[in-house]
Structure 1
Amino acid sequence: MKWFSVLIAGLVLTMSGCASIGGKNEQWALPIMAVPLQPSIQQEVQIARTSQLLLRTDLNDDERAELHFQRGMYYDSLGLRELARYDFNQSLSLNPAQPEVFNLLGVYFTQVGQFDAAYEAFDSTLELDPNNQYAGRNRSIALYYGGRTDLALEDMTNHYNDDISDPFRSLWLYIIETKANKADATAQLEQSYAKRDDNWGWVLVGMMLDKVSQSDAFAEIAKGATDNVMLAQRLTEAYFYLAKHYQMQGDYATAVSLYKIALSFNVYEYVEHRYAFLELGRIFSAVRAEQAQQNNQQDNSEQ
């Protein structure tokens, strides 16, 4: 995590104000927040109960596989990814015909940049369950992060066409298509936004297109949340896509701060939380490459 500390120190200090967040168009005195989610008693009890059941010697393989899967899901919901991955691997060793487990492992591999392993995991999911929507989306995202834009765009286009009313499919299609053709991506997103329904996620699309102000978008999110859990979930999504918006504009300082806020709510099972760390790593790599290029140019000019 040393790179993360260096990244934060180097980028946040470049911001115009440490208490404000926003780009050139808007700034907020303070970001809209929710109380970070904490482990519940039910989650802790279920982990303890499942662990006790796994000590029994009279379980058959299917029962033991299911218990490992259940405990892995509880670990995953608490952000204990390595413990979750251990349980998922144990579950697969006992029952390999579990598409949902391969899908989760594929997401883990994507998070740590092991893209070939991620592709294989998602392919396994789709072989076992060809209609698995999550695996199709997640494979597309893995292909995007792995630099295979054409394949990613093909997968995400198919995923989008399966439900064009889903604003989050529109957002990911836009993010991926922007790598190939920003003008086409923007035109496609505007067409989708014009056909929007009352799904709250279209507020995020409007914000991405600068058709909804950031202050109005967050006011709408806060108004629509019925409790702190929902607010934390929606803010995780909102700050992630807003961070992506600024990152795509080259405003890395603002993007870093927004990704940090997206992570702060502890909504571990959301893909927006899962990939925020990955995005921070990509920003660090981009900044480091820019600094190296500037240093080389300076050295050449001095020669």
Structure 2
Amino acid sequence: MFKQFGFLCVSIVAIAGCNPVSSVDTPVNTASTAQQESYPAMAVPLQPNALAENNIAELTQLLSGDKVKAADKAQIYLDRGRSYDSMGLRDLARMDYFKSLEINPRQADVYNLLGMYYTQIGKFDTAYQAFDSTIELDPSNLSAVFNRAVAQYYGKRPNLALDDMKTYYNSNPSDPFSALWLYIIESESDKNAALTRLKSTYENKTDQWEWMLVGVILNQVNEEDISNYIVNSTVNNTVMAQKFTEAYFYLGKSYMANGDIKRALCVYKLALSLNVFNYSEHSYALLELDRISDQFKSAIKNDKQENFVYR
């Protein structure tokens, strides 16, 4: 319990730049007021889902029977794999996805899930092959196009990543995530053009809350604004954890773009800490930490590691 409490005390300072929150005057039950330390509300890290655990147990029991049809068995393996995935048990999920494909190899969505898995663990060539299989089986599957673009971005194939993300963006320019990722990828080669496009898209934003994430990238929304919005607009802890996971990740991208590696490290770790395993930003935060690790190793060789150390 004490370890959990200590973790939360660290977590709640994140949006304020990973610095302690200033104390404020807080009323008490007397005529006087006392100076007390105040912390913003935070989502509690998600815990293992009892429903998912029960679902896994039931599906496993079904698979042990000898009267299950092959088509049903393929679906059961897929469903159990998704349940494993939601709990962060990705290797078990991968094995179930493969078992499902062994029974029915023409499942475009399963190849897409495998592509995401291989992206998350940095096996990009295998990820490309999985996404290619999805698109071959279902040419209209734009989710695979988006996921392949992200894989190519992390796999250092910027031109192909940009082509795929433009395809996805053009299919749905009102989607804030397509705008965000098009900017992230395009800014690697032409930051001015990427910024101009993002500003133009942002001018036509809707009330969808994720546009605040775009505002963060454009420095139109600050950390306190997005933190207050999530806390004040969300009463369900799971939804709050999901929103903070997204916010932490894109804050990290913003910090990295501005050269603030220390704060980026902090918020990427916080994106992981809430245990929202079924959100891509959770997995991408790990990839970002790997990139920072590579930069740190390079900095050590050049004796420039001061950017990575708090003083």
**TM-score exceeds 0.5:** yes
Match of 1:72 among 63, 71, 81: 81
TM-score w.r.t. the length of structure 1 is 0.87
Q: Deviations over 1:145-187 (max 9, x none)?
A: 1111011011001111111111111111111011011111111
**Aligned partner of residue 278 in structure 1, secondary structure:** helix
Which residue is equivalent to 1:39?
A: 48
Q: Does 1:205 align with 2:214?
A: yes
RMSD: 2.0
Match of 1:52 among 29, 52, 61: 61
Which residue is equivalent to 1:87?
A: 96
Which residue is equivalent to 2:174?
A: 165
Uncovered stretches (5+) of structure 2, i.e. residues with no partner: 1-9, 22-38, 305-311
Aligned-partner Cα distance in 2 for 1:182–1:33: 34
Which residue is equivalent to 1:298?
A: none
Match of 1:189 among 165, 187, 198: 198
Which residue is equivalent to 1:96?
A: 105
Q: Deviations over 1:200-257 (max 9, x none)?
A: 0111111111111211121112222241111111110000000111122222111111
TM-aligned CA deviation for residue 121 of structure 1 = 0.2
Deviates more, 1:100-109 or 1:248-257: 248-257
Aligned-partner Cα distance in 2 for 1:18–1:102: 35
Task: Verify the 8 A CA contact 2:252 2:268 in the aligned structure 1.
Answer: yes
What amino acid maps onto 1:275 in structure 2?
Answer: Y
Match of 1:244 among 253, 261, 265: 253
Decide whether aligned partners of structure 1 residues 22 and 218 sit closer, same or farther in structure 2, where only a CA change above 3 A counts.
Answer: closer
Q: Does 1:150 align with 2:159?
A: yes
Task: Verify the 8 A CA contact 2:176 2:210 in the aligned structure 1.
Answer: yes
Task: Verify the 8 A CA contact 2:74 2:104 in the aligned structure 1.
Answer: yes
Task: Verify the 8 A CA contact 1:22 1:28 in the aligned structure 2.
Answer: no
Q: Deviations over 1:90-140 (max 9, x none)?
A: 111111111111011101111111111000000001111111121111000
Which residue is equivalent to 1:230?
A: 239
Aligned-partner Cα distance in 1 for 2:230–2:176: 15
Which residue is equivalent to 2:36?
A: none
Aligned-partner Cα distance in 2 for 1:101–1:292: 42
Deviates more, 1:257-266 or 1:218-227: 218-227
Aligned residues between the structures:
278
Q: Does 1:293 align with 2:302?
A: yes
TM-score w.r.t. the length of structure 2 is 0.85
Task: Verify the 8 A CA contact 1:22 1:254 in the aligned structure 2.
Answer: no
TM-aligned CA deviation for residue 20 of structure 1 = 5.1
What amino acid maps onto 1:55 in structure 2?
Answer: S
After TM superposition, what 4+ stretches of structure 1 lie above 4 angstroms from structure 2?
17-24
